[in-house]
Structures are given as structure tokens and as C-alpha cells.
Amino acid sequence: RDALVTSTVNCLTSFLSGFVIFTVLGYMAEMRDVEVEDVARDKGPSLLFITYPEAIANMVGSTFFAIIFFLMMITLGLDSTFGGLEALITAVMDEYPQVLAGRRELFVLGLITVCFLGSLSTLTYGGAYVVKLLEEFGAGCSILTVVLLETIAVSWCYGIQRFSHDVTAMLGSPPGVFWKLCWVAVSPALL
């Protein structure tokens, strides 16, 4: 039930966000007297830090909305960081419990320090190029490739029966035929 609620809210939020994004892009195209495609050509950081602040500056109460907008960006960035790092932290803590027992905080501090030091390169004069490089090659196809390899490893190498047994141990009931079919055929085919 929670998964359905989360999925539905996520889907509706994305749908509503699409309306908001294209409304703003349409407004900006009208203000610049260009086509929407020319405004939408700005992607990534330029859309976020140039186009949207320009649109917000033309609104009534622009200071309030600018503060809310950038606070939202900060919270989204932090949330994405927490989500991504928590998976790594949990995996390492589960793999090496005897080494890291009672030292979770130190491990998290070390990991965050490594992430901080790695991100300092984006603050240099060539930082925009580093961000562009990460945007082009750090996401997209590379993530899909990793997910495809994980799907193949779980479905075919580890085995669907062993994976189903693990799911049964975690949830208390065995997964249905639909889920097994999705794990073995549908997910790898769609990736």
C-alpha cells in the first residue's frame, strides 16, 4: 500500500511539475519573442540558474518566490545526496559489520569528506566543464548500463529462485508470477 501511495504521489508530482515547467518556458518564450524550443534549448544548470530566476524576477513578490525556489533546490540536492549515500552506507555497513560496528558516524563522516573533496573541482574556473562532464557521462547511459548489469546479475546469475527465496524471507510471502516475469524478462528487455 505504501509503495502504491509513493508511486502515485511521485507520478502526480512529476505530471504537475511538467505543467509548471512548460508554463514558465512558454512565458519566457513570449517575453523574449522566440519559440519555446529556443528557450527549452537551455538545459541543466542554465535552465535552473538563468531561465527560472529570470522568470521569478518578473513575478509579483519575486523576492519571496526566489527564496522559496532556492531553498527548494537546496533541499532537493540534500535529499538526493542522502538517498544516494544511504544505499552505499547501508551496503558497506551490512558487508563489514564486525569492522564498522559502533563506528557508523565515523564511516559516514569519512564518506562525506571524500564526496566533499571530490566536489571541490566543480568550484574551480573549469568547474562548469566538470559539471558538464559529469552530466554527460556520470548519468544517463552509464546508470542504465549499471542497472542492466544488476538486473542480469540478479535474474540470471544469482537465480530467480534464490532471489525469490530471499524476498520471501524478507517479506514473509513469496513473490507472485508477475514479479518473477518482470525480473527475468520485462526489466531487462525495457532497459
The annotated binding site for Na(+) is made up of 10, 76, 79-80
Tell me the residue type at 187.
S
Estimate the crossing angle of helix 62-95 against helix 104-119, to 10 degrees: 130
- B/e letters for 21-52, b = 16+ CB within 10 Å, e = fewer, are eeebbeebbeeeeeeeeebbebeeeebeeebb
Alpha carbon separation from 112 to 25, 88, 91, 100, 117 (Å, rounded): 36, 11, 16, 16, 9
Biggest CA-to-CA distance, the chain: 64
The DSSP symbol for 120 reads G
Comparing CA positions, the residue from 185, 186, 162, 184 lying closest to residue 174 is: 162
Question: Under a CB-based contact definition with an 8 Å cutoff, are residues 156 and 176 in contact?
Answer: no
- Residue set of the binding site: 10, 76, 79-80
Contact, 36 vs 26, CB < 8 A? yes
